[in-house]
Amino acid sequence: MWAPAVQPAELGPMKPVAYSVSQVLALVGISRTTFYALVKAGKIPVRKVGTRSFVLAKDLESWLESLPVLHDFGGAE
């Protein structure tokens, strides 16, 4: 019987490679309207698989890293 070279238990926890729109909204804490405005502006690229829309984890991370850094937070969001 054939067995894969690496067993799934040996891989450890896997990071998602892509997120659904709902997952992005929950992770980042933005509204659907804001999300689609960012997509329309070309800030967050979206991939389609059939009728489903996905954001690659690396694209989401790149967008987050491109946001300005607040040096004086002052408790405001």
Beta carbons of 45 and 59 less than 8 angstroms apart: yes
Assess whether pLDDT exceeds 70 at residue 5: no
Q: 20 or 70, which is more confident?
A: 20
For the residues 8-17, what does the mean pLDDT come to?
79
Determine the pLDDT at residue 8.
Answer: 64
Q: Express each pLDDT in 13-59 by its tens digit.
A: 888 999 999 999 999 999 999 999 999 999 999 999 999 999 999 99
Determine the pLDDT at residue 71.
Answer: 86
Whole-angstrom Cα distance, residue 65 to residue 48?
Answer: 23
Please state the domain extents for the chain.
Answer: 16-65
**CATH architecture of the domain with residue range 16-65:** Orthogonal Bundle (1.10)
